[in-house]
A and B are shown apart, each in its own frame.
Chain A
Amino acid sequence: MDQGGRKLESNIQEKGKKALGEITRRQIMELDTCSHCALCTEKCPAYHESKNPLHAPGVRSAKIIKLWDKKFSFWNRLLGEKEITEKDIKDLSESAYHCSLCGRCMESCPFGFQTHELWVKVREVVSALEANPENVERINGLLNETMNPYGLEPDTRLDWSFFVDIDVPEKDEAEIAYFVGCTTAYKGVNHDVAFSMCSILEKLEEDWTLLGEDEWCCGNPSLISGNKEEAQKYAEHNVKILESKGVKKVITGCAGCFRVFKYEYPHILGRKPNFEVVHAVEYLRDKIISGELDINQTEKKIIYHDPCELSRLGGVIKEPREILASITKNPIEYEEHGIDVKCCGGGGLLQAVDNQQRLNIVKERLDEAKEKNANILVSACPACKLAFTDGAREFQNEIKVLDIIELVASQLK
């Protein structure tokens, strides 16, 4: 069948139908319930920046249910399925990937649709229709080759540690494992985050280890680009390695790794791993409250940006604030914070698909921090730090950007 000048192969139709058929009953109910009221639209950072209707969550919801109906509605089952067209695929791909998967639409939806999961499902459909953006496919290819989305050699995963004065441990057995994460290990701007965490663990004389080359990507990029099977490979490997070392607690400084380890792995693997997963902020907060970490206070004005995957999607909201309260007498809040945080644009593979949109989104957060006269902008996710650093460079904003782990390490007595 010829649709808009391109012949859609019948196997793509079939793959699309199969993926659409995997949309769950709760999600179909949510899509049927969506009144396309647009109450979420203005809250969506991607739409707010671009004003492109395809980027609006409600439009995405209308597109996917129309596509589902083509294959599964009562009438189309009775009278014959309708073909998925080239335009359907193009629009859906554009819509699905101009989204940072921050879940803010979920927080605006009066019906509480679990949109983060829904949009990931939409990406699974896009992937099945072989319509993932080129750069997303490139990332998937690199992941497959090197076990990280940046395509860097696995044996360079610990290169950041060559420039620090700690012998980072790679033990066969340990109580605690620090799961560094790809964006911390491979992005120079985040190397100090890894070093800071290591120095804190050393100071506390914990029985801890890194995984080194054995640390693979957590699988988040695969999951959010519609490749669940690939993500399973990473989940199985990481859990196997961690369990083989007898690890009791996994600490990660990355909000994405944290969410995937804590909330996705049990679903992917069909069981809970034999270790506890905590984000570094939870660990640091406990150590500060218990008095094991002694902190110097500063007068500096520090503004905290909640990473979406840690706060809204991960439930860790009060801990970073407790840390900041112990560090500065002048903590500042964004107007939109906590569960209602406005995304920095750093998630959802937006950087790979439309970096300018990502930078424009982060600009708003940087500008607000400047308006509030913050000296330091702190977050708790390497993707956020990367977005803020890139944005500050692009828009010549001189605010100091730090991860909360770096901030704690710098204030230790």
Chain B
Amino acid sequence: MSVITTLYRFFVEVLPYITIAIFTVGMILRILRWRNAPKDHYSTKINLVESIKYIILDVVLFRKTWKRDKLTWLVLFLFHGSVAGILFGHMRGFKLWSAAIFEPMGHRFADWMVHTLPIYVGWVFLATIVILLIRRIRLENQQLTSLTNDYIAMILLLLASIIGQGMRIFPPEAIIDGTYKVVFIPRLIVLHLETIPSYHWFHWHVLMTQLFVMYTPFSKFIHIISGIISPAIYGSRRKEIGI
């Protein structure tokens, strides 16, 4: 077995356990970091309706950015929309849904949804993250001061998406069947692939995405979680004040 084959087997058979472990420990450390800080002198009572309203308007639809500047809104919306699309698409690999859900709209449509659309979504994601990265570099030390983890997070995403697109567009090599699954938890969380992608691109993509997952608790990606909590508190607080 060649070194590269051993390495690739490590990416799909061993690394997933390490990824889950680092992610879990990281999340615990992050929660402890918050928990160790003192409680607020005043706790806002969460108003469910207001919380959901603000999460939808501010986090999902980026209402405040829309009001501020339409172009930035478009980039942010496309970026986050493509993230959502990519995450949803990957869920098919985990057998959480299948192409059959689109079959009622016709076979061609279902095929387009699972085979063609993801490529476009990948390009949108790639383009928007490049734009956001350029924007950050341009505004650095003028309007913002990035922390190291702001850049690491974006570069990881950029690499994962470049390799992910490469995986789709480069032709697959002839590889032994059965290689293309990533076992996170045996029989519970296993990524299966329907079509065999490019061998090398696939494995490096698996590595980059796992690095992304490992890094999430230590990075700005934490806003995937905390970015839901803060607008919920904000919305409830505004209701209390009467705005």
Binds B, one of A58-66, A203-211, A273-281: A58-66
Decide: A42 and B143 in contact? CB cutoff 8 A: yes
CA distance A106 to B67 in the complex (A): 14
Separation in Å of the A194 CB from the closest CB of chain B? 27
Decide: A42 and B41 in contact? CB cutoff 8 A: no
CA distance A90 to B227 in the complex (A): 31
CA distance A65 to B241 in the complex (A): 28
Binds A, one of B4-12, B14-22, B110-118, B232-240: B232-240
Decide: B37 and A36 in contact? CB cutoff 8 A: no
A373 part of interface (Cβ distance < 8 Å): no
Q: Which residue of B lies closest to A311 (CB)?
A: B243
A132 part of interface (Cβ distance < 8 Å): no
**Among B38, B145, B222, B226, residue most surrounded by chain A Cβ atoms (within 10 Å):** B145
The residues in B between 23 and 57 inclusive whose CB is less than 8 angstroms from any CB of A are 29-30, 33-42, 54
In the complex, chain B residues whose CB is within 8 Å of the CB of A47: 143
B146 part of interface (Cβ distance < 8 Å): yes
Decide: B143 and A111 in contact? CB cutoff 8 A: no
Decide: B65 and A28 in contact? CB cutoff 8 A: no
CA distance A3 to B234 in the complex (A): 39
Decide: B144 and A110 in contact? CB cutoff 8 A: no
Q: Which residue of B lies closest to A340 (CB)?
A: B67
B180 part of interface (Cβ distance < 8 Å): no
Count of A interface residues, CB-CB < 8 Å: 51
- Residue from B58, B143, B147, B238 within 8 A of A110 (CB atoms): B58
Inter-chain contact count A-B, CB under 8 Å?
Answer: 138
In the complex, chain B residues whose CB is within 8 Å of the CB of A24: 37-41
Decide: A21 and B58 in contact? CB cutoff 8 A: no
Separation in Å of the A152 CB from the closest CB of chain B? 32
A141 part of interface (Cβ distance < 8 Å): no
CA distance A27 to B34 in the complex (A): 9
Interface of B is mostly: helix
Separation in Å of the B223 CB from the closest CB of chain A? 5
The residues in B between 180 and 214 inclusive whose CB is less than 8 angstroms from any CB of A are none
CA distance A21 to B38 in the complex (A): 8
Interface of A is mostly: helix
CA distance A24 to B67 in the complex (A): 30
- Residue from B37, B58, B65 within 8 A of A25 (CB atoms): B37
The residues in B between 116 and 158 inclusive whose CB is less than 8 angstroms from any CB of A are 136, 139, 141-147, 150
With A25-B38, A74-B29, A108-B64 as given contacts, are A37 and B144 in contact (CB-CB < 8 Å)?
yes
B178 part of interface (Cβ distance < 8 Å): no
- Residue from A22, A36, A66, A110 within 8 A of B64 (CB atoms): A110
Decide: B64 and A33 in contact? CB cutoff 8 A: no
Decide: A66 and B147 in contact? CB cutoff 8 A: yes
B99 part of interface (Cβ distance < 8 Å): no
Decide: A112 and B230 in contact? CB cutoff 8 A: yes
Convert A103-130 into 0s and 1s, putting 1 for each residue whose CB lies closer than 8 angstroms to a CB of B: 0001111111110000000000000000
In the complex, chain A residues whose CB is within 8 Å of the CB of B243: 312, 315, 317, 339
A263 part of interface (Cβ distance < 8 Å): yes
In the complex, chain A residues whose CB is within 8 Å of the CB of B145: 36, 53, 58-59, 62-63
In the complex, chain B residues whose CB is within 8 Å of the CB of A156: none
CA distance A314 to B68 in the complex (A): 22
In the complex, chain A residues whose CB is within 8 Å of the CB of B42: 267
Would you mind naming 8 contact pairs between A and B with Cβ atoms under 8 Å apart? A21-B37, A25-B37, A26-B230, A32-B30, A32-B33, A33-B226, A110-B231, A315-B241
Q: A39-B68, A108-B68, A340-B67 are in contact. List 5 more A-B contacts (CB 8 A).
A: A25-B35, A27-B37, A108-B64, A110-B62, A312-B243
Question: Which residues from chain B sit less than 8 Å from chain A, CB to CB?
Answer: 29-30, 33-42, 54, 58-59, 62, 64-65, 67-68, 72, 136, 139, 141-147, 150, 220, 222-223, 226-227, 229-231, 233-235, 237-238, 241-243
Question: Which residues from chain A sit less than 8 Å from chain B, CB to CB?
Answer: 21-30, 32-33, 35-39, 41-43, 47, 51, 53, 56, 58-59, 62-63, 65-66, 72-74, 106-114, 263, 267, 312-315, 317, 339-340
State the 3 A-B residue pairs at the shortest beta-carbon distance, nearest first: A112-B234, A25-B37, A41-B143
